[in-house]
């Protein structure tokens, strides 16, 4: 099957923001569902947009969908109302739409995860319904401003959500992720916060080159790894338990030093290894204020400061003495 897909809205016109950001969430789910569909033999046409307005992003998505033959078009969204409405639903053009049965299966599968099933609704006035030639579905996964929905949403991995949607499109795709697709990540205990911050050179080597992310709440900072296979998780857990870093697994004196700007806090946290490569062999300390995280270096001479400042560019906040 050839499937056109997009995450609702665009990076420049993000849609609804409630407890979570609709576009950020659907961008990830769009990628996950694409990966699953391709894995099971389908061809996926990327119909995402960079438009700066609702009209622009809708038109760009529709134009991409119509630029070649597709069997089905899917637009992934999260609903928003007043914080009180909840549930999952799909929209199709009308009751005679060829996409209706797929839409029914998607809402049914998502409702099995715990979302209230609001069913399949008909709306021939929506832009995508009127302007995309292929049978098409707008999937409203849940309400981004509903605590009821987001509590359910947060129980599941991206893969679990993705397989529920993709099974609705193709019966041959499992309803739940196969065992070999299961991934894990490790979360450390809250790290000891010394006088200067958390001494990263002591912490990072135990992670064996695995990508790790720093997160904070108040003045507490902890580290989460990238997703791991079962064997990687087991090996790393044994090391961290030994070093008393393991928490749980989820299925100054007259010299100058540099303080970075607040570090980019991505989807998973701050990517420690990505930041550390700029510092070479210089020791760094991690500090935080609520959810803002930054580094201080060890004491450096003026030449070292200027060299690192040039390397870090806009990340440099100040050079202090």
DSSP output for 136-151: EEEEEEEETT-HHHHH
% pLDDT > 70, the chain: 73
Structure tokens at 230: 């079962």
pLDDT-based confidence at residue 239 (cuts at 50, 70, 90): confident
Residue 40 has pLDDT above 70, yes or no: yes
Q: If 0-12 CB within 10 Å is exposed, 13-18 middle and 19+ buried, where does residue 253 land?
A: exposed
Is 10 domain-assigned? Answer: yes
User: Within this chain, do residues 18 and 61 fall inside the same structural domain, yes or no?
Assistant: yes
Instruction: Please report the pLDDT score of residue 127 as a whole number.
Output: 94
Instruction: Tell me whether residue 28 is in a domain.
Output: yes
CB 142 within 8 A of CB 152: yes
| pLDDT (average), residues 47-56 | 90
Is residue 168 within a helix (H) or strand (E), and if so which, with residue range? helix 158-169
Residue 10 dihedral angles phi and psi, to the nearest 5°: -155, 170
Beta carbons of 263 and 221 less than 8 angstroms apart: no
* Domain final position from 169, 185, 220: 169
| 68-77, 156-165, 242-251, 286-295: the lowest-pLDDT one | 286-295
Instruction: Please determine, for residue 219, whether its predicted confidence score (pLDDT) is greater than 60.
Output: no
Do 24 and 151 lie in a common domain?
Answer: yes
* pLDDT the model gives residue 187: 60
Neighbouring CB atoms inside 10 A of 319's CB total: 16
Q: 150 with 276, same domain? A: no
Question: Long-range CB contacts (< 8 A, 24+ apart) of 280-287?
Answer: 282/308, 283/199, 283/200, 283/201, 284/200, 284/201, 285/194, 285/196, 285/197, 285/198, 285/199, 285/200, 286/197, 286/198, 286/200, 286/214, 286/221, 287/197, 287/198
What confidence category does residue 321 fall into, taking pLDDT thresholds of 50, 70 and 90?
low
User: Is 206 found in the same domain as 140?
Assistant: no
Is 125 within a domain?
yes
Cβ atoms of residues 109 and 165 within 8 Å:
yes
Q: What CATH number did the domain enclosing 29 receive? A: 3.40.630.40
- Tens-place pLDDT, residues 97-143: 999 999 999 999 999 999 999 999 999 999 999 999 999 999 999 99
Closest C-alpha among 320, 271, 267, 287 to residue 28:
267
Full residue range of the structural domain in which residue 241 is found: 198-320
111: in domain:
yes
The verdict on 80 and 153 lying in the same domain is yes
Three-point CA angle 240, 242, 246, nearest 5°? 35
209 and 138 co-located in one domain: no
Q: Which of 17-26, 32-41, 57-66, 200-209 has the lowest mean pLDDT?
A: 200-209
């Amino acid at each position: 099957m050839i499937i056109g897909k997009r995450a609702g809205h665009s990076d420049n016109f993000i849609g609804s923001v409630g407890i979570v950001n609709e576009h950020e969430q659907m961008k990830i789910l769009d990628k996950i569902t694409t990966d699953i569909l391709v894995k099971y033999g389908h061809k996926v046409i990327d119909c995402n947009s960079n438009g700066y307005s609702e009209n622009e992003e809708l038109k760009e998505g529709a134009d991409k969908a119509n630029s070649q033959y597709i069997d089905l078009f899917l637009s992934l969204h999260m609903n928003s109302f007043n914080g009180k409405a909840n549930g999952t639903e799909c929209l199709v053009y009308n009751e005679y739409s060829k996409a209706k049965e797929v839409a029914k299966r998607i809402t049914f599968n998502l409702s099995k995860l715990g979302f209230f099933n609001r069913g399949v609704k008909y709306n021939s006035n929506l832009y995508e319904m009127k302007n995309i030639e292929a049978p098409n579905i707008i999937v409203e996964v849940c309400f981004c401003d509903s605590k009821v929905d987001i509590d359910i949403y947060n129980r599941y991995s991206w893969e679990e959500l993705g397989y529920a949607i993709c099974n609705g499109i193709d019966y041959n795709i499992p309803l739940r992720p196969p065992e070999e697709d299961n991934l894990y990540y490790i979360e450390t205990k809250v790290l000891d916060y010394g006088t200067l911050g958390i001494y990263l050179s002591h912490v990072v080597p135990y992670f064996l080159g695995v990508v790790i992310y720093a997160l904070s709440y108040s003045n507490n900072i902890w580290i989460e790894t990238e997703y791991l296979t079962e064997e990687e998780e087991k090996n790393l857990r044994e090391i961290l338990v030994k070093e008393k870093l393991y928490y749980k697994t989820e299925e100054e004196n007259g010299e100058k030093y540099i303080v970075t700007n607040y570090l980019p806090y991505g989807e998973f946290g701050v990517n420690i290894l990505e930041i550390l490569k700029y510092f070479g062999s210089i020791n760094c300390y991690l500090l935080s204020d609520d959810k803002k995280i930054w580094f201080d270096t060890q004491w450096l001479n003026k030449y070292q400061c200027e060299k690192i400042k040039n390397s870090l560019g806009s990340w440099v906040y100040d050079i202090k003495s």
